[in-house]
Amino acid sequence: MTASLDYLVLLFGATAGAHGRKLGSDEKELVLLLWQVVDLANEKAGKVHKVFVKPNNLELTEQYTEHTGITVETLSTAEPLDQVLEQFNRSVNNELNIGVGASFCLCTGSQLLIRQVFHPESSNKNVMLPECFYSFFDLQKEFKKCCPDAPDLHELDLSIMAERILCQIFFLLALGEGSGLSIFPR
């Protein structure tokens, strides 16, 4: 995606199973969706939205509950995927100040959430994904373009990317060249 964007919608999700580099590999259902709208033109980040998703299969391991804090009770009162996607779509559209020609794109930590969780699960449940789920920024891929000497994509995660960026910022600040640094592109 090369067009100039007005907004990014940061998207994170968790399933009832594998996470990290194995997200979606065990075909477990989505149980948590988080998103945040970022206004690139005005350099403002919106509210973080957190919504639990009721899976068809309400089984969670004890280890999973201990690790995430997500319980069967929490999920049993959550909305199903189709209703959560409607809520997501309404929320994003309400939060964006979209005028003529304004645009936004989803931004994920990797392609796994979209390609290995959302697409298969929505297909299995006969749920229509909003159009924005078909074109997105993959932070790992974009990071690798900017930093070709970074670890391979299968080794790259958000903590490694953040550490690398912070090291570069501290280096520039130490050289006295980082006075106008911004996390937003100019």
Domain range summary for the chain, segments of one domain joined by +: 7-146
| pLDDT band at residue 168 using 50, 70 and 90 as cut-offs | low
d(CA 106, CA 114) in angstroms, rounded, equals 10
Q: Is residue 178 within 8 Å of 169, Cβ to Cβ?
A: yes
How do residues 100-145 score in pLDDT, each as one tens digit?
Answer: 566 888 988 888 888 888 999 999 999 999 999 998 888 777 777 7
The two three-digit tokens of residue 1, written as one number: 């995606």
The two three-digit tokens of residue 12, written as one number: 């994170």
Report pLDDT for 6.
84
> Hey, which CATH number is domain 7-146, 3.30.360.10, 3.30.470.20, 3.30.420.10, 3.40.50.80?
3.30.420.10
- Conformational region of residue 126, where left means phi above 0, alpha means psi within -120 to 50, and beta covers everything else: left
* pTM across the whole model: 0.77
Q: What is the distance, to the nearest Å, from the Cα of residue 85 to the centroid of all Cα atoms in its chain?
A: 14
How do residues 143-162 score in pLDDT, each as one tens digit?
Answer: 777 777 766 766 666 666 66
